[in-house]
Structure 1
Amino acid sequence: MAELRNIDLNLLVVFQHLLQERNISAVARRLDLSQPAVSNALRRLRSALGDELFVRTAQGMQPTPHAERLGGPVGEALALLSHTLDATHDFRPEESRRRFRIAMTDVGEIHFMPRLVKACSRQAPGVRIDSLRLAGTDLRREMDAGHVDLAIGAFDDLGSGFMQRMLFRQGYATLFRRGHPTAHEGMNVKAFRAERHLVVSRAAPHGQVNQSLERAGVKLDEHFSVPHFSAVPYIVSTTDLLATVPRKLADTVAAQFHLGLFAPPIRIPALQTNLYWHRRFHRDSGNQWLRALMVDTFVEEN
């Protein structure tokens, strides 16, 4: 095992970015280095650690098993060091140029991102927010390493080490185009079942929608489907399909796409949306500011 004193900390930063990007040119751009400098850093790391670490393939620079094993601990160590150094200074949103990363779904982006952009423009004009799709072990690993600051949604599988706060609960609404020949508020289950539906096939954590449709007698494999909610209003506005979606999404898109909406005549459990963060960053001033912004902006919608 190489002694820590023989490894330049900057080499580990390059290593961590290579794990994420799998491309030397991309890492060079991200770190504002030349490609030869990144290649040289990789050569020095290979020599210090006695392993190839990354092998060039048609899919990019793929990590060796040893590099994969190092990824988690190195990421956590760098994140802890970074946040420790940041903690010596109070976070000043009006001066900060920090980039936060928030895991959320496509329907979450539609609801949260516009208002977050406006809030940051007022309070922290230099702050930027990246949204990304992660769940399960991938989300836990990225939050463990400090690569993801917050997660918004319903994540029951994060396990210990995470803190959470409820933002709001919501029901569901069925969307239809204005002028639809048969859809209307108050339609019964039989009429609802007889309509053509647009199903969101990858609805997690909204899977209870599809389960409720099936219990009501709607055979999902006989209807049209899309993988995500973001395409729903575009399709419903130009067809006679019905789509049952989270209420906040329905309220957001109905007027813009000239859609009507009604409470579906089937029972669907309410969806709870939570804010999650890692316990290690509970006292990080930047993370605290972002959490407070989320709460101030969205929790009143309960």
Structure 2
Amino acid sequence: MNNIHNADFDLNLLPVFDALIRIRNVSRAAQELGMSQSAVSHALKRLRLFFGDQLFLKTGSGMQPTPRALELLEPVLAVMGTVRGELLVREGFDAATARRVFSLCMTEMGELIFLPKLIERLRSAAPGCTLRTLQVPMQQIEDVLERGEADLALGSLHSMPDGLFQQQLFTRSFVTIVNRRNRQIGEALSREQYFAMEHIVVSLSGRVEDAYDGIVDQLAGPRRIYLTTPHFLTVPMIIEANANLIATVPRELASRFAGYRSIKVVETPVVVPAFAIRQYWHPRFQHDGANNWLRKQVKDVFDLHQE
């Protein structure tokens, strides 16, 4: 088997392998690399010839790596991590001329409230860059960040692996949304009403124990949970059609939901500590110039959001 020191091997092929193993799509990999799709396809052909393996097979769900490609994954990522973290970082990241895709793991709540402001900032500071958002199961986030399939994970994430770096962006409180047509509820919701009514909870994993507002049950006692859903944005529509249901949600989200004529926002009648929104990244990219720049943009956007 040929090895990496073979004079016939072009080290410029490594970024192509790195992009394909992370993105699993030739056209998006080309976009990130600032190459044409045909150039990436040609590079893949050379990689296949050198390693004597197809490496990536085209399927309905994208370019899937072969067992040989998976064997190469760790050493290639290690090399690329060293290049990004120890060599290229010295040159910095020129946002004004860069052409790449930044990928963020975030919930639809983050997309609704914070993504528009981040888009506005990046359009101005990095006009050649674009954004992609991913919704990734909690247990896969560390691997996704390590492989570089996502640059950052944003949100209030439970049970995040200790190995990830993190930065707190801000803290926010919970409020409760109810249906205005429910005549049993006035301008305030009593504790007795709160625990007597049926609740909607949001859980990205689909398990009640992972509910976004699960701290309520831990501190104040179990609620009557009628519906568990992974989607924030359907909650006001469900409550609009079912006046006997209520939900406890982050305050910023509730302010958006108040745009529904039938939705009313009330204070949650139990003491619920504020929750922290953080950004997470893998240690491999701690010194990566682009990742470092993106983290600063996210922090600045969140700081402005609090003003």
User: What's the TM-score once normalised by structure 1's chain length?
Assistant: 0.77
Assess if the C-alpha contact under 8 Å between 1:72 and 1:141 holds in 2: no
Does residue 67 (structure 1) correspond to residue 69 (structure 2)? The answer is yes
Contact 1:234–1:257 (Cα < 8 Å) also in 2: no
Deviations 1:246-288 (A, max 9, x none): 2221123323666211122234443111122344444444333
Equivalent position of 1:128 in the other structure: 130
Secondary structure of the equivalent of 1:245?
Answer: strand
Partner of 1:219: 224
Are the aligned partners of 2:81 and 2:285 in contact in 1 as well (CA < 8 Å)? no
Secondary structure of the structure 1 residue equivalent to 2:236: helix
Residues 1:198 and 2:200 aligned together? yes
Cα distance between partner residues in 2 of 1:137 and 1:74: 23
Give the equivalent residue in structure 2 for 1:180: 182
Which position in structure 2 is the counterpart of 1:264? 268
Counterpart residue type for residue 170 of structure 1: R
Change (3 A) 1:206 1:191: same
Deviation at 1:50, TM superposition (A): 4.3
Q: Secondary structure at the match of 2:234?
A: helix
Query: C-alpha displacement at 1:71, in angstroms?
Result: 2.0
1:232 maps to what in 2? 235
Corresponding residue for residue 243 of structure 1: 247
SS in 2 for 1:209: coil
Determine if the alignment matches structure 1 residue 299 to structure 2 residue 299: no
Maintained 8 Å contact 1:184/1:262: no
1:70 Cα deviation after fit: 1.9
Q: Report the count of equivalent residues.
A: 297
- Of 207, 211, 229, 1:207 maps to 211
Give unpaired runs (5+ residues) of structure 2. none
CA displacement at 1:121 relative to structure 2:
3.5
Q: What is the aligned partner in structure 2 of residue 148 from structure 1?
A: 150
Q: What is the distance in 2 between the residues matched to 1:83 and 1:98?
A: 17
Q: Secondary structure at the match of 1:197?
A: strand
Contact 1:96 1:127 in 2 (8 A): yes
Q: Specify whether residues 172 and 102 from structure 1 end up closer, same or farther in structure 2 by C-alpha distance, changes over 3 A only.
A: same
1:115-172 deviations in Å (ceiling 9; x for gaps): 1122223444433222222355633233334443222224543333x43221111221
2:37 paired residue number: 33
Instruction: State whether residues 96 and 126 of structure 1, in contact with CA within 8 Å, keep that contact through their aligned partners in structure 2.
Output: yes
Higher mean C-alpha deviation, range 237-246 or range 44-53: 44-53
* C-alpha distance in structure 1 between counterparts of 2:180 and 2:137, whole Å: 36
Displacement of 1:174 after TM fit?
A: 0.9
1:119 aligned to which of 110, 118, 121: 121
Report the 3-state secondary structure (helix = DSSP H, G, I; strand = E; otherwise coil) of the residue aligned with 2:189: coil
Query: Equivalents in 2 of 1:26, 1:285: separation in Å?
Result: 21
Contact 1:79-1:146 within 8 A present in 2 as well? no
CA RMSD of aligned residues (A): 3.6
Query: Secondary structure of 2:142's partner?
Result: helix
SS of equivalent to 1:139: helix
| TM-score scaled by length of structure 2 | 0.76
Once the 2 structures are TM-superposed, how far is the Cα of residue 104 of structure 1 from its aligned partner? 1.7
The equivalent residue for 1:157 is 160
- SS of match in other structure, 2:145: helix
2-side partners of 1:173 and 1:84: how far apart? 45
Asked whether the equivalents of residues 213 and 266 of structure 1 are also in contact (C-alpha less than 8 Å), the reply is no
Q: Does 1:3 align with 2:3?
A: yes
Task: After superposition, give the CA deviation of every residue in 1:66-97 in whole Å (9 maximum; x if it has no partner).
Answer: 32232233234335435666535443444444
**CA distance in 2 between partners of 1:97 and 1:28 (Å):** 10
Could you tell me which amino acid in structure 2 is paired with residue 219 of structure 1?
Answer: R
Give me the whole-angstrom Cα distance separating, in 1, the residues matched to 2:49 and 2:93. 39
